[in-house]
Every structure is written in C-alpha cells, then in structure tokens.
Structure 1
Amino acid sequence: MGFKIAVIGATGNVGREILEVLDERGFPADEVVALASRRSQGTEVSFGDKILKVQALENYDFTGTDIALMSAGGSVAKEWAPKIGAQGCVVIDNSSAWRYDMDVPLIVPEVNADAVEGFRKRNIIANPNCSTAQLVVALKPLHDRAKIKRVVVATYQSVSGAGKDGMDELFNQTRAVFVADPVESKKFTKRIAFNVIPHIDVFMEDGSTKEEWKMVAETKKILDPKIKLTATAVRVPVFIGHSEAVNIEFEEPITADEAREILREAPGCLVIDKHEDGGYVTPQEIAGEDATYISRIREDSTLDNGLNIWVVSDNLRKGAALNAVQIAELLVNRHLIQAKKAA
C-alpha cells in the first residue's frame, strides 16, 4: 500500500519541482494531491504523465494524508503546519518558519539523517535554506575528517531563489536593456540584469542580512554548533543554480588531494576539478541536476590548515524540492511512518 502525498504550493517554482522529483524518483505514492491558495483552485499542474487539478488548501482535510510537502511561504507554514500535523500528517516545510524551533528537526539527509526521528514532537520537519543545503553537503565529509573550526563563504545566488517574480524581473530587465527600454526594479532593490546585488532578505542590527544569518544558524543546527561561520550573500543575474566560494579552516591538517578524494566518495557530492580551462563547474551546467558539485579545491597558504572550494548546486532541487523528497524517503525507508490506508 502506497502513501498519500499532498504538495502545498503546487503552482510555484518549488512546488512544480517537487511534483517532478516525486515522479522521477518513483516515490511510493498511491495518490498525490496538488494544493495551493484559493485563487489558484482549478489550475492544472503536471505530475509525470498525469495532470492534477489544484485544490484549495483552506478546504482540504488532511486526516487521510500521510505527508505534506509544503512550499507556500513562511506565513502559510506558520499557520497551517501545526494544524496539518495535528491531523496526523507529517509536514516537510520549505520555508524558514520552523527551522529554528528546537522541537523541529532541520534535515539534510546526507548530513544529519538520524535527527529526523525528532519529528514526532510536532509532526513537522524543516528544510534548510537553499544556500545552506548545498554548503553542508560539501562540509560534512570534510568536517568528519579534519574538524572544521571556521568557514567564510561568499554566495552567488540565482534569481530563482526569489521565486518566479525574480526570474521574470531578470528576463524583463535584460530584454529592456537590449532594446533601450526603461529598466524597472520591483522584486530587487537594484537592477539585477548585468549586475550583482550584495543584499538578500532584510538587514539585521549587526549589518548582516537575514540570508547570511540563516546560513550561520542553520549550519550550526545541522552540522555542529561549534563551527564559526561568516557569510556574504549576493544575488547574481543567473536564472537557476547557486554558487559559493568557501574558505574553510580546520583543526587538523588536510591536503587538497585528501579533500578531493573524500568528496569524491561522499554522498550527494560530485567533484569536477581539473586544473585547466573549463575544468570546473558553473551554474549553467548543473540546472536540473541533483548533486552538489565541487570544484577549485586548493590549499589556503594563509592558514595552517585551510582549504578553498567552489560549490555549485541547483537551488530549486537540492536547495528545496529534492531535499524535501529525500526527507520523505527517509521517513519511509526507516519505517518511521506507515501509510494510513495500510494501517
């Protein structure tokens, strides 16, 4: 007997990607339901060779549903995740609403799979921020080998991280530049076409942005609270795929060759690292891919035990949809939940 799955926010970028990933990976679902706000009711979305009609979240009864994969924003998650969990349905939420709640596990399956068992307290599991997910996949095997003390990361984040509106703005501005039309900025604080913006999410009192704070807090919760991390998050004119330049300081010695071999064997990682023109990966090449790609692995001569790495991943997949589905697979494969119909 398969599971009944609800995808909340099914008309958005991540929601559509979740439906695609569920189908691609052959998730053991007997039924998949597409949900969104009332204004999207009746919209059609694809699930494999099927077409699903979107139902309104407000009218849906979750008592017979096993897992809800939610990608509908923080305010919706804050209101609805506890209600859904109370009906016996496990919520896997992509927003930031529950990531910092001590009773809600924050999971990247390649990194801290065992922590998933804590979901029973609230019936909610949080998905990390897209920039954090790919970072910790790359850091985990290196941390296991040489213990990370400090990380300095600069991100190069695609506009899809800001949703469909962000992608539309890059497209419209780029076209406007070429035809000499006025360039309008609505989603971003400055022009994104042919530009980079060192500002993602709101500013905090210490001068960092919330996106940067998220990377710090989430890395500590997922990987190790003792790791010191500082980040600069930058929006770049790329449609899909986040890149990160990462400098790592370790407690123990580790060479670039050792790191390369460790990462080649690590779950979820794919190393492309040749010291030649084009011997590295860029976001354009990895759109639609599941792995976290790592290039430019080299020693930092300014530190006793330091490395630099370049990390690239599809933010809509590993940064959101894929990770959420992997968490659902974790629940099923570890027999932590049972299909209600079978029960």
Structure 2
Amino acid sequence: MDGPEPPGDPLGVLHDDRPEPERVAALRRLADLAAGAGPGALNRYAAGLLAAGRREEAEQVWAQLVAGRPDMVVARFNLATCLVAGGDVEACARVLRACLEGAPPGSREWQLAERRLDDLAEAGDDAERQNRMLRLRVAALRERVALGLAEPGDFKRLARALYGQMHVADSGVTGRDMLEAARLAYAAEPEDPEALEALVLGLLVAGTERELSEALRKLEKVAPHSRALGLARTMRTDPEFEEAARARRDTMREVMRRAVAGDRAAEDELRAESQKFAGNFEYRVALLFAAYRRGDHAETRRLADALAAEPAADHHVHFHIAQFYWFLGEHERSRHHFALAHQTAATEGDREDAREALRTVGAGTPEELGLE
C-alpha cells in the first residue's frame, strides 16, 4: 500500500504467513512506532491493522489521518482500499471522487483516482456476481440441511458462506444465522478443529461469554495456533484493540441515544448492528425503547418476544421487557419477567431495582410475587 517493505519489517511480518505470536508482536511494534510520530508511521500502522484482519480499526485510523492531512494522497487511496475491502463501495467511491476533485487534472494522482474509479465500477459488477453466487450457495446448502441430505462438511461450508454474507450490506444474514450453522457444524464433527473454529467465530459475534470461554478452552487444546484463537486473544488482551473497542462502544452509545430520541436513521443503523451482533442485548433493548417511543406497539411486542425467547437472557433483558410487557397490557408475562429479573440479578442493588420497578408500574408488590 505504501511501497515495498524491507525484510524483517513488522509490516512485512504481517503480510507473511507467520505464527500468531510474531504477528501480534509486529502489530504492537507498529503501534509503538506510530505513537507520537508523523503521518507516515500512522499510515503504516493502519496498513498493519488491515493486514492483521482488523479492517474496521484500520479504516478509523485512515479516516482520522485523512481528516488531519487531506493532502496526504496515499492515505486517501489506502482508506479507499480499506472501504472497498469492507464492502462499502459507495464510501470508497466518495473518497476516490474527492481525490479526483482535489488533484490537478491530468496529474499522476488525478489519473490514478480515475483508474481506481473505473476499476471500482468493474469490481462492483464482479462483487455483485460473487454475492449472487454466495447467496445461491447458501440457499443450496440450506436446502440440503432442510431435506436431511447434508453431509458433515456441508455445515462448515454453510457457516463460512453465512459469515461472508453477514458482512454484505442488505444480505439479511445475521450473526445469529452464522452461529446456528456453526453449532450444526460442531455437532456434526466435534473433533474437527475447523468446526470448532467456526463455532468460536460464531460465538464471537453472537454468543455469550460463558459459551465462548468454553469453546476457546477446547480450541486451545486442539489447535493452539488457530487464527480464530489468535483473534479472540487479541480482542481480550491487545490494548490497541481495547481502545478501538472502547471508541466503538462510545459510538454505539451515541447511536442508541439518538435512536431512542427518535432519529430514524440511527434506529436503522442500530437495527443493522443488532442483527449482526444478536448476542448484544443492550442494542436490542435500545430498539425496544425506540419502537415504543414512536408508538409502534406491534414492533415493540415483536422485539420483546424475541428477547424473551433468548435462553441467555440476563437481568438487564428481563428487567426491561417486564416493564414493556406491562405497558403493552401483557400483565402476566410482565410479572413473570419481573420475577426472572429478580432471580437473575447479580447484586442486591439489582434485586432492589426489580422490586422498585414492580411497584412503580403497578404490577403488584414484591411480597405477592415472592421477591422479598
């Protein structure tokens, strides 16, 4: 992306098929070099993030770099490459058009941006063909499963295909879909490391912490150098990853706040994220608030019912859907979930919150429900 790298360079390590500890060390080295350094080092760090499979973080770094240095053409082109790798063709085209408009007509940068835009148009056609093939593959594999004709390998292929579709805009495929296929793959071949890797990936996007920890322990025994294991370790221990995760949490909190306040674009964004990460109950509870605030009681009930059916529903879920069920007139279901909120509470403070909410909405007294 920014010229050839000398042997032994950390960015070169990330582009090679090297053991995971070396890749982690190389990325950390790039982060250290970028700290307090100029835009060139930051550009290389973003390239390292992309090579390490952390595309969203790379996109954030390049976007910040472009905002601070709009004259840095290589950063703009790298951002465009990163965006198209994530499937955001429109955003990539916007960046390239900005390059085209900001460069002198006929200059090297102008010509490169024009060529990239032409390539993007062709790539868009190719990507759409690939997406169609992927959809057909998913449909065929699902049909084999439904008819009872699937072989063990079909479940792994289905999980991989759904994982690919999950990152395609408007595919309708969610993290939960991928996780369900991964569960089938693992159930069919519990001794197969690839099936266990698929399960770990599914749990990373849509599972619970308890299930994920158990699957990671198993994967560490049978495939200690697994890329999925390395990804999970990075998510849990890398300070740069944690910083990016914290920034994402802050961004999503703002999206949730806007959605609840009535911003329909924010609600649409939140809905898309909750479909990708169905195990994130905070997103789904915020959607409940948004739907109820705009008076869509049918959608509120649908969302509450979906949360109520979650085997892993926790205190946070039961506490909120109990109140929504009461406001929707589902009084017995409301009391049932107030009792579950009390039962699943981790602290006495949480239990008192459940008792207080029960009194506040008028659903009865803690004594009547045996919550004292």
Please classify the TM superposition score into its range, dividing by the shorter chain length.
under 0.3
TM-score, L = length of structure 1: 0.25
Decide which structure has greater helix share: 2
Taking CA–CA contacts closer than 8 Å with sequence separation of 6 or more, which of the two structures ends up with the larger relative contact order? 1
Decide which structure has greater strand share: 1
TM-score, L = length of structure 2: 0.23
Greater Rg by CA: 2
